[in-house]
Structure 1
Amino acid sequence: MSGKIILHHAAPSRSSTALFMIEEIGAPYELDVLDLQKEEQYRPEYLAINPMGKVPAIEHEGQVITEAGAICAYLADAFPAANLAPPPGDPLRGAYFRWMFFQGSCLEPAIIDHVLKREPGRRGMMPYGTYETTVDTLEKAIEKGPWFLGERYSAADVYVGSAIAWGLQFKLLPERETFKRYVARLNERPARQRAMAIDQKLMAAAKSA
């Protein structure tokens, strides 16, 4: 699949994960940088793209895709040459989808509830069970490493790995050696280094403006 990608982006935000993913696939793209402090995400022209007024969102070949996980999954399938998703029929496809959905349905909700000290409901009603179970499950998934699919690096590492890095950075996850080693490996990815450098420049420019 060809065609330039437009990433509606803000730094720092969840759209940094989408930027990382686009750098991984190596496709041409342009950034539409939004200033969240000025609430540019609520301007009518952007709400026409994403009525939620959130980033990230991408435009590609006439389609609009929102939500970081959906963007990562879409791009992995749209650019198969990057080899970031097991194709249908591959035995790893199920595990790949498991971890792609784990981030949004379990990990992030568990972290947010834990940090905000929200009173948890009955364990069976919570989409993630408990924060402790979620963290332990996450650690077990990567303890043998190096990636969520074993030796195979995938979009699951881009998406869930970004959440682990975020969790450690802001002390939202326990500083377990398994997590720290995993993030160190992730930070060695040239695509991640490029994405982080772009974000650092954007944040520096915003600060000096």
Structure 2
Amino acid sequence: MLTLFHAPRSRSTRFLWLLEELGAPYRIEKVDIFRSMSGTGARDPRNPHPHGQVPALVDEGVLITESAAIALYLTDKFPTAGLGPMISDPHRGPYLSWLAYYAGVLEPAVTNLWKQRQDDQDKAQYQALDERLRTTLEKQPWLLGERFSAADILFVSLLQFARQMLPAHAVYDDWLARANARPALARALAKDDLS
């Protein structure tokens, strides 16, 4: 069985959501983490993540860390749920691109914005990110068109936590509203509060 090492109201909450969307059997191992915004918490020795962070997923003794890797691992492990296109699917390339874009572009751009350390190059990258994401969502409801995917979960989870990290556009608010209406998210949030 899958074990999700989880700290409530953290980046691991998105994987409660994904696991619920997948219908996967899993258990939650609640761990403490250091929370830099509040200065509370501490590294938990039970947490196998090399940096003491979450998410961390263990599957039959194999440790998977980092959000994009966990999303890809889980959607490949449970292909019938349809939340991650398989290799023969023409959406596979865009799916992988969005997962990598989340980790390599969105997270750094938003972190620099939040920490108020944007130079001109960072500002240009943030504007390009906004342009790419906004124009994609102006044409279609989800990152892969009509198909909701784990990539949407990664991106939307940022908006759930800090909507102000992306510019004020109705397209982002509508995307967030569509995602927030998903029953699997409600189930995940109920477990997040109980864990």
Shift of 1:35: 2.6
Runs of 5+ consecutive residues of structure 1 not aligned to the other structure: 203-209
Contact 1:58 1:71 in 2 (8 A): yes
Q: What percent identity do the matched residue pairs reach?
A: 38
Paired amino acid for 2:62: Q
* Mapping of residues 114-153 of structure 1, within 5 Å: 114-120=113-119, 123=121, 129-153=124-148
CA RMSD of aligned residues (A): 1.8
2:16 and 2:192 in contact (8 A); partners too:
no
Q: Deviations over 1:81-122 (max 9, x none)?
A: 11111111211111111111111111111111012111426x
Residue 143 of structure 1 aligns to a residue whose secondary structure is helix
1:5 aligns with 2:2: yes
Structure-1 separation of matches of 2:29 and 2:85 = 30
2:172 equivalent to 1:179: yes
Normalised by the length of structure 1, the TM-score is 0.84
Aligned partner of 2:154 in structure 1 is 159
What's the offset of the Cα at 1:163?
2.1
In structure 2, what residue type is equivalent to 1:59?
A: V
CA distance in 1, matches of 2:150, 2:63: 19
Correspondence 1:20 to 2:17:
yes
Give the length in aligned residue pairs: 189
Judged with a 3 Å threshold, the aligned counterparts in structure 2 of structure 1 residues 34 and 21 are, in CA distance, closer, same or farther, namely same
TM-score normalised according to structure 2 size: 0.89
Check whether the contact 2:64–2:70 (CA below 8 A) recurs between aligned residues: yes
Q: 1:35 to 1:50 in 2, by over 3 A?
A: closer
> Which residue type is aligned with residue 180 of structure 2?
N
Quote the Cα distance in structure 1 between the aligned partners of 2:67 and 2:7.
13
Alignment partner, residue 53 of structure 1: 52
- Look up the SS of the partner of 2:58 in the other structure: strand
Is the 8 Å Cα contact of residues 6 and 30 (structure 1) preserved in structure 2?
yes
After the TM superposition, which of the residue ranges 74-83 and 29-38 deviates more from structure 2?
29-38
- Partners of 1:163 and 1:141 in 2: CA distance: 17
Distance, in Å, in 2 between the alignment partners of 1:61 and 1:129 is 43
Stretches of 4+ aligned residues off by more than 6 angstroms: none
- The residue type paired with residue 106 of structure 1 is V
**Aligned-partner residue type, residue 76 of structure 2:** D
